[in-house]
Copies of this chain bind each other. A is one copy, B any other.
Amino acid sequence: MGNAPGSLESLRRTNRLRVLQTVQSRGAASRADIVRLTGLSRTTVSSLVAELVSESLLVERPDQQPPPASPNGGRPATLLTLDPGAGGFLGMHFGHDGLRVAVADLSCTVLDEEQRTMDVEEHVGDAFGHACEMAARLLGRLDLAVSRVVGLGVAVSAPVRHDSGAIASPSPLKGWDDVNVAEELDRRLGLPVYVGNDANLGAVAEWMFGAGRGVDDFVYVMLSDGIGSGIMLNGRLHLGATGTAGELGHVVVSPYGFVCRCGNRGCLETVAGGRALTAALSQVTGPNTTLDDVLRLARAGDPGARRAVQDAGRAVGRALSGLCTMLNPRLIIVGGRTGAAGEPLLDGIRASLAREVSPPVNGSVGIVPGSLGERAEVLGAIALAHRMTPAAALTGRAGGSAAGTGTAGGRVI
């Protein structure tokens, strides 16, 4: 068979893929654009495009906007785009207090999304049911058959085991211990499913769509009730030996502090997690204060709330300082609900880093807020499906994504 890398057929497959990726990354491109971007010859591109069009992976868009209308005349290019009917990606996010579903086309442009608040922890089965309903509704609105969806990405607010794809136990999502999300959703939808941790996928999302575009080494910090992070190195997500890298919430910052649910003492989460923030303010605001209350107060300028947020930032900075010294990242992106608190938080982080990281390294790392807000995780789930899919499903098209796909579809990023 000609599957071996190094064969002629594999060369053509590679070039097909490069054409597809070029179109995908630009949204729309003419054959001439593709020539310029790939370095392939006009005639090769022409032939590859013809093939792809005949397989209805690409479509011509004669109507489309005039591409800047070439400087001094010439025949206008006919733009090509991915065939919207050729398929799409689904993304889901299961968080502590709700779920979110989104649909994107093959070029990862989000077409529609839905959000729903519910108690995800109590009723695992219901959560899956609702997510599937929402997905079906979205696909219906877009007139896209389920069988055309080439992949489903799922973000879960819990560590995902590298080997099995199951949720680690004990999990921060109560009731989700050892649940195999990939198998479950594959069974219900018959799609290849890819599961990832929410902080990791937030990092991927910021890298593809947000504040991390064009940056290949950064750390995405997700501050909400829990604290997690995603580490992007050399343009790849770093998962670690067992797939649980990035557990920023369990970096020790206070060796004789509170005992943490992980069994250690003084983890960052006990100092800067949601519970710590509300506890810090509880003498002022009462025992039933929620994290969102604290954040609302801080945004409104309440000095106590701002102080609490800033102190949390300081602790986060201490937890990050060793990592910055060791990894020397270009950027730290701060997201999550607490992350939206903005300047007081970022100032706290910057202050700690300035104290504990050597000046040249500290000077080379930027601290910025994430730009995707609460949507980061779903978008990351879609990006995950996108990154796991292309080679197999867009080029080979061997069998059917229709029947079964086996259970083995599930893999972490």
Chain A positions within 8 Å of B, measured between CB atoms, are 4-8, 11, 14-15, 18, 38-40, 168, 217, 229, 231, 233-234, 236, 238-248, 250-252, 255, 262-264, 319, 321-323, 325-330, 355-361, 364-365
* Contact status of A231 and B330, CB under 8 A, knowing A14-B6, A247-B358, A264-B355: no
B234 touches A236 (CB 8 A): yes
Q: How far is the CA of A241 from the CA of B219 in the complex (A)?
A: 12
Which residues on the B side are within 8 Å of A39 (C-beta)?
A: 4-6
On chain B, the residues within 8 Å of A243 by CB distance are: 328
How many identical chains are in the complex? 2
**Bound Cα distance from A231 to B239, whole angstroms:** 15
Query: Max chain B CB contacts within 10 Å: which of A40, A247, A328, A330?
Result: A328
A4 (CB) vs chain B CBs: closest residue: B39
| Among candidates B168, B236, B239, B328, residue contacting A360 with C-beta atoms closer than 8 Å | B168
Closest CB of chain B to A265's CB: distance in Å?
A: 8
Contact of A326 with B251 in the complex, beta carbons under 8 Å? yes
Q: Is B364 within 8 A of A242, CB to CB?
A: yes
Bound Cα distance from A326 to B227, whole angstroms: 12
Question: Which of B6, B231, B262, B356 contacts A18, CB < 8 Å?
Answer: B6
User: Could you write out 11 A-B pairs with CB less than 8 Å apart?
Assistant: A4-B38, A6-B40, A217-B241, A240-B329, A241-B329, A242-B360, A243-B328, A248-B326, A251-B322, A251-B325, A262-B358
Contact in complex: A326, B247 (CB < 8 Å) = yes
B321 close to A323 (CB less than 8 A): no
Q: Is the CB of A358 within 8 A of B11?
A: no
Residue of B nearest to A217 (CB): B241
A14 to B250, CA, bound (A): 45
For A327, what are the chain B residues with a Cβ–Cβ distance below 8 Å?
231, 238, 240, 245
- A322: chain B residues at CB < 8 Å are 251-252, 319, 322-323
CA distance A7 to B38 in the complex (A): 11
Chain B contacts of A11 at CB under 8 A? 6, 8, 11
